[in-house]
A and B are shown apart, each in its own frame.
Chain A
Amino acid sequence: MKALLFERSLPRFAASRIASGLGSGRGARVAPLRLVDTEAPDLPGEGWHRVSPILSGICGSDLATLDGRSSRYFEPLVSFPFVPGHEVVGTLEAPATAADGSSLDAGHRVVIQPVLGCAARGIEPPCPSCSAGHSGDCEHVAFGHISPGIQTGFCSDTGGGWSTAGLVAHESQLHAVPENLSDNDAVTIEPVACALHSVLRAGLGEDQVVAVLGAGTLGLATVAALTHLSSQGIIPLPRAVLVGARYANQRTLADDLGATTALPPDQLSRAVRRHSRSMTMGGASSARLTGGADLVFDCVGSADSIGQSLEMVRPRGTVVLVGMPGRVSVDLASLWHREVRLVGAYAYGNESVLGQEQSTFSLAIDAVAAMHTGRFVSATYPLDRFEEAVAHAGAAGRRGAVKIAFDLQATARGGHR
């Protein structure tokens, strides 16, 4: 059995950070990540089950970790060594009960809701966030009977998706994959769940202008979420969904997913101005808007993208940080002056949908089926070509790709798709 193992190594962290200066994903060659022979992790206790991964995606947060660009904020929230991979579709090795209480047979396909909250950690009573159904905000991710780790894929006890040895998941994390979803569809359920949570967290009002900055997996999933939720009457229909996408293939996909218009990021402010009927200050070439978008989803998380988001949002509007930021330097004068709400949006849990509580993952399964987000999966790699895979993921947009994933079954067979 093979797995990619990420270890604590300060010299290698430093080296990968330097290497990543050449481009996202380039740090994998020198990062403390290596392919190892391993066995399946032990079951931590009652309610835990083994899952054999089929596909496991490479996410932006994975790239940040491999490139040594993650914030030090996460240091106490992970445990080394860990097997990355939190976007996982796999099969159950034994019968299990799913998060919704349904019974699943051995071999049933499942996706992992990777947050390791109070239920998975055996903590009673659960923290206020978990009690409220906001497991993504769990206050106990460093406690309980398993090692620290905010998610599967960052915890030394659970394993992760980048492994043929399998991982262990608590029944609170298990969601059955319907037969009508392909493996490619299923591996996008986790990022789509993130996007749905972001959109629902934002609180879209009637006839509002929405800007989405960035059109990688999360940006496109956010567009899909906006389209799906509004088509279901769960949120109001936006007046316009404007997407800043650097690459032509991203713009085409954003259009297909329901964007009003998708255009290069440097043109996004102009589109926001036009659709929000704003003026600009400082002359015709200025991008400083008088009004702006009601909602901006920053799906990049860099200093530039946060700065641009603050320039595009209207007074008392909302900027939602969907992409994972780190330590950034941003001019907050406009946030203060225009009373802008800056909102973080992480993970998932339960959502209030038309007055009913529903898990984000069950919503995501419906959204993935409706929006066919399996098309995001552009290429899969076996584990032994992880350096290529990570480099491909780091340059996905430029290379016409969206989501890169590891194919664990092909790895086990010694081939790949």
Chain B
Amino acid sequence: MTARPGFVLEVDGSTPPTLFWKGEGFTLERLPEGSRVIYAPEPLDALKDPVAAIRHALEHPTGDSEPLSALLRPGMKLTICFDDVSLPLPPMQAPDVRQMVIEEVLDMAAAAGLDDVVLVAALALHRRMTEPELRHALGDRIYEAFAPHGLLTQHDAEDPENLIHLGKTDEGEDVEINKRAATSDLLVYVNISLVAMDGGHKSVATGLASYKSLRHHHNPRTMRHSKSFMDAPSSELHTANWRMGRLIADSGVKIFQIETTLNTDTFPSQFAFLQRREWEWNLRDRATYAATATALDATPDKLARQIFHSIRAPHAMTSVHAGEVEAVHEETLSNVWRQQGVVVEGQTDILTMGLPYICPYNVNSIMNPILVACLGLGYFFNLYRGKPLVREGGVLIMQHPTKPDFDPAFHPSYIDFFEQVLTETTDPAEMHKVFEESFATDPWYIHLYRTGHAYHGVHPFYMWYWCAHALEHLGRVIVLGGDPTAVRRMGFSPASTMADALEMAKDVVGPSPTLTHLHSPPIMLADVQ
């Protein structure tokens, strides 16, 4: 059956209430008549034989590249880098696409007689993956073959012994990346492009970089000029990564890029209603919603979190391309848009969204307030091409409990950022100037990043910088159902009901506003005309 494309519904008197996520739970909200609801396209059909598709991609590369088998020879040094735990969301049902791709690459390497092969998780400044997460991403077979011998590594952006400075771009940006990867005869990068922002030169130039390198594009100025992250030609973040990627290539680093795309089959069958359109809910969907929503409201946070983070998405691969970075990425982008693109006519005064329990940085962890802001203002706000869904000076209403809860092991610097930075300023440029360096070079954060499972000390700043474009664009941000203290700390306005939120929004945009709801997840990309 052909997947139906995305759809923009206009709410009328017969429209049932609309589903809103609110962290580890959801609710139904009745939107005003005339509001628009944007629904994601239905999941595309999966590749029928993904392993065959992978083999075909490796042997029929895209762009100016030889087939992988022709690039492999005995005695060479091969490094296989792969996207980390931040992708995909939610984590996919086994086998993970990284496992499928890397198994094929390793089979070819074995056939070619290679014996110097190392795997590197491309963490950038993210936390190190745990053993169960690595086993899930790579499969037990790969894990057992590499990890015990120290051949399964995780990029360490603070290890001076394993970083190499390749030079500066013509914009003066330092390019410093993983030495093992850069000095290998071949660097194979295995990517999952969940959204249009992923992949391309960003894989190596960001995923394997040091703070010294990342700071050139992870800063308020770049983020404010990325409109949006999902539209590379309009994204300063991507322009910088492309400059760096080309310098990496010019430095002689040989990269064989493998990019995959997934469909939007996001939730397993017991949560099927979450990706159905409400007016198409059957009796079972309605019953499941009612039972689940009620039960979750009475479930302790920790247990609810465990339940949701145990979800494994039935994502399936829709494309795989391999070869030269830029040519591969062009194919990837067209497949991402084929799955996620929705044409939307015109902007709105008020954009609403319900934020789910997960974002790229809290897999198996707590979604703290800074990550809530990042998910709403950094990610969902930026799911557009052309113009933002909401007009300049408009209002964003996002629903989430936004409790001031933090994971001290994964997010130690976030706690201090919340207490010691956001209490002083919410201006990205100001915090960049006054606070960033002290967090980035803090020895304790560096120690926890290198030896534990902590995000780098500077990471909460980056999360806030992701919000910079939205913060500059919006007239007000309202958090529906959010903890008032935490919400106000971030410079936003709390509201307890949708009616209150809409009244507050009208103070900013006038008495008869237009309203659009982004019905996500599943992920979609709005092509705003």
A and B: bona fide binding partners: yes
Q: Which residues of A contact B (CB under 8 A)?
A: 251, 261, 263-264, 267, 270-271, 273-274, 277-280, 283-285
Beyond A261-B423, A284-B452, is A273–B444 a contact (Cβ under 8 Å)? yes
Give the distance in Å from the alpha carbon of A267 to the alpha carbon of B419 in the complex: 7
Q: List 18 other contacts, CB 8 Å, given A271-B419, A271-B420, A277-B442.
A: A261-B423, A261-B424, A267-B415, A267-B419, A270-B419, A274-B416, A274-B420, A274-B439, A274-B442, A277-B443, A277-B444, A278-B444, A279-B444, A280-B444, A284-B408, A284-B409, A284-B454, A285-B409
For B413, the closest partner residue in chain A by CB is A274
- 21 CB < 8 A contacts A-B: A261-B423, A263-B423, A264-B419, A267-B415, A267-B419, A270-B416, A270-B419, A270-B420, A271-B416, A271-B419, A271-B420, A274-B420, A277-B443, A279-B444, A280-B444, A283-B409, A284-B409, A284-B412, A284-B452, A284-B454, A285-B408
In contact, A284 and B448 (Cβ under 8 angstroms) = yes
Contacts of B443 in A (CB 8 A): 277, 279
Report if B438 contacts A (CB, 8 A).
yes
Contacts of B447 in A (CB 8 A): 279
Give the distance in Å from the alpha carbon of A55 to the alpha carbon of B402 in the complex: 47
Contacts of B419 in A (CB 8 A): 263-264, 267, 270-271
For B407, the closest partner residue in chain A by CB is A284
For B411, the closest partner residue in chain A by CB is A284
Give the distance in Å from the alpha carbon of A67 to the alpha carbon of B144 in the complex: 67
Contacts of A261 in B (CB 8 A): 420, 423-424
> Chain A's nearest CB lies how many Å from the CB of B128?
13
Give the distance in Å from the alpha carbon of A279 to the alpha carbon of B457 in the complex: 13
Give the distance in Å from the alpha carbon of A337 to the alpha carbon of B40 in the complex: 62
Contacts of B444 in A (CB 8 A): 273-274, 277-280
Main secondary structure on chain B at its contact with chain A? helix
Contacts of A271 in B (CB 8 A): 416, 419-420
Contacts of A280 in B (CB 8 A): 444
Interface string of B398-418 (1 = CB under 8 A from A): 000000000011001001100
Give the distance in Å from the alpha carbon of A297 to the alpha carbon of B176 in the complex: 44
Give the distance in Å from the alpha carbon of A37 to the alpha carbon of B439 in the complex: 62
For A271, the closest partner residue in chain B by CB is B420
> Chain B's nearest CB lies how many Å from the CB of A290?
8
> Chain B's nearest CB lies how many Å from the CB of A362?
35
Beyond A263-B419, A279-B444, is A274–B438 a contact (Cβ under 8 Å)? yes
Give the distance in Å from the alpha carbon of A264 to the alpha carbon of B420 in the complex: 10
A-B contacts at CB below 8 angstroms, number: 42
For B412, the closest partner residue in chain A by CB is A284
Give the distance in Å from the alpha carbon of A214 to the alpha carbon of B50 in the complex: 63
> Chain A's nearest CB lies how many Å from the CB of B472?
26
Give the distance in Å from the alpha carbon of A264 to the alpha carbon of B418 in the complex: 12
Give the distance in Å from the alpha carbon of A279 to the alpha carbon of B445 in the complex: 8
Shortest Cβ-Cβ A-B pairs, 5 listed: A285-B408, A279-B444, A267-B419, A284-B408, A284-B412
Give the distance in Å from the alpha carbon of A261 to the alpha carbon of B434 in the complex: 13
Contacts of A277 in B (CB 8 A): 442-444
Contacts of A264 in B (CB 8 A): 419
In contact, B409 and A263 (Cβ under 8 angstroms) = no
Contacts of B412 in A (CB 8 A): 284
> Chain A's nearest CB lies how many Å from the CB of B455?
11
For B441, the closest partner residue in chain A by CB is A277
For B419, the closest partner residue in chain A by CB is A267
Give the distance in Å from the alpha carbon of A271 to the alpha carbon of B418 in the complex: 11
Give the distance in Å from the alpha carbon of A20 to the alpha carbon of B419 in the complex: 32
Which of A270, A279, A283, A284 lies at the interface centre, i.e. has the most chain B CB atoms within 10 A of its CB? A284
> Chain A's nearest CB lies how many Å from the CB of B459?
14
Give the distance in Å from the alpha carbon of A285 to the alpha carbon of B366 in the complex: 15
> Chain A's nearest CB lies how many Å from the CB of B465?
20
> Chain A's nearest CB lies how many Å from the CB of B126?
16
For A264, the closest partner residue in chain B by CB is B419
In contact, B408 and A263 (Cβ under 8 angstroms) = no
Interface string of B448-472 (1 = CB under 8 A from A): 1000101000000000000000000
Give the distance in Å from the alpha carbon of A263 to the alpha carbon of B415 in the complex: 12
Give the distance in Å from the alpha carbon of A277 to the alpha carbon of B446 in the complex: 11
> Chain A's nearest CB lies how many Å from the CB of B431?
13
Contacts of A273 in B (CB 8 A): 444
In contact, A263 and B448 (Cβ under 8 angstroms) = no
> Chain A's nearest CB lies how many Å from the CB of B453?
9
> Chain A's nearest CB lies how many Å from the CB of B436?
13
For A266, the closest partner residue in chain B by CB is B419
> Chain A's nearest CB lies how many Å from the CB of B369?
15
Contacts of A285 in B (CB 8 A): 408-409
In contact, B454 and A263 (Cβ under 8 angstroms) = no
For A261, the closest partner residue in chain B by CB is B420
> Chain B's nearest CB lies how many Å from the CB of A287?
11
Give the distance in Å from the alpha carbon of A284 to the alpha carbon of B416 in the complex: 12
For A270, the closest partner residue in chain B by CB is B416
State which residues 149-196 of B face A: CB under 8 Å. Answer: none
In contact, A263 and B420 (Cβ under 8 angstroms) = yes
Which of B408, B419, B423 lies at the interface centre, i.e. has the most chain A CB atoms within 10 A of its CB? B419
For A278, the closest partner residue in chain B by CB is B444
Contacts of B424 in A (CB 8 A): 261
Which of B412, B438, B443, B444 lies at the interface centre, i.e. has the most chain A CB atoms within 10 A of its CB? B444
> Chain B's nearest CB lies how many Å from the CB of A94?
52
Give the distance in Å from the alpha carbon of A264 to the alpha carbon of B416 in the complex: 12
> Chain B's nearest CB lies how many Å from the CB of A255?
9
Contacts of B454 in A (CB 8 A): 284
> Chain A's nearest CB lies how many Å from the CB of B37?
40
State which residues 373-427 of B face A: CB under 8 Å. Answer: 408-409, 412, 415-416, 419-420, 423-424
Give the distance in Å from the alpha carbon of A280 to the alpha carbon of B439 in the complex: 15
Give the distance in Å from the alpha carbon of A273 to the alpha carbon of B444 in the complex: 9
> Chain B's nearest CB lies how many Å from the CB of A314?
14
Contacts of A270 in B (CB 8 A): 415-416, 419-420
> Chain B's nearest CB lies how many Å from the CB of A308?
16
> Chain A's nearest CB lies how many Å from the CB of B516?
37
Contacts of B415 in A (CB 8 A): 267, 270
Give the distance in Å from the alpha carbon of A279 to the alpha carbon of B424 in the complex: 24
Give the distance in Å from the alpha carbon of A274 to the alpha carbon of B447 in the complex: 13
Contacts of B416 in A (CB 8 A): 270-271, 274
> Chain A's nearest CB lies how many Å from the CB of B456?
13
> Chain B's nearest CB lies how many Å from the CB of A195?
24
Contacts of A251 in B (CB 8 A): 423
Give the distance in Å from the alpha carbon of A284 to the alpha carbon of B419 in the complex: 16
Interface string of B294-323 (1 = CB under 8 A from A): 000000000000000000000000000000
> Chain B's nearest CB lies how many Å from the CB of A409?
40
> Chain A's nearest CB lies how many Å from the CB of B433?
16
> Chain B's nearest CB lies how many Å from the CB of A211?
13
Contacts of A284 in B (CB 8 A): 408-409, 412, 448, 452, 454
Contacts of A283 in B (CB 8 A): 409
Give the distance in Å from the alpha carbon of A283 to the alpha carbon of B443 in the complex: 14
Give the distance in Å from the alpha carbon of A264 to the alpha carbon of B444 in the complex: 21
For B485, the closest partner residue in chain A by CB is A248
Give the distance in Å from the alpha carbon of A368 to the alpha carbon of B442 in the complex: 37
Give the distance in Å from the alpha carbon of A278 to the alpha carbon of B444 in the complex: 7
Give the distance in Å from the alpha carbon of A267 to the alpha carbon of B415 in the complex: 9
Contacts of B448 in A (CB 8 A): 284
Contacts of A279 in B (CB 8 A): 443-444, 447
> Chain A's nearest CB lies how many Å from the CB of B457?
9
For B447, the closest partner residue in chain A by CB is A279
Contacts of A267 in B (CB 8 A): 415, 419-420
Contacts of A263 in B (CB 8 A): 419-420, 423
Give the distance in Å from the alpha carbon of A9 to the alpha carbon of B416 in the complex: 50
Give the distance in Å from the alpha carbon of A279 to the alpha carbon of B443 in the complex: 7
Contacts of B438 in A (CB 8 A): 274
> Chain B's nearest CB lies how many Å from the CB of A325?
28
Which of B420, B447, B452 lies at the interface centre, i.e. has the most chain A CB atoms within 10 A of its CB? B420
Give the distance in Å from the alpha carbon of A263 to the alpha carbon of B419 in the complex: 7
For A263, the closest partner residue in chain B by CB is B419
Give the distance in Å from the alpha carbon of A310 to the alpha carbon of B323 in the complex: 60
For B452, the closest partner residue in chain A by CB is A284
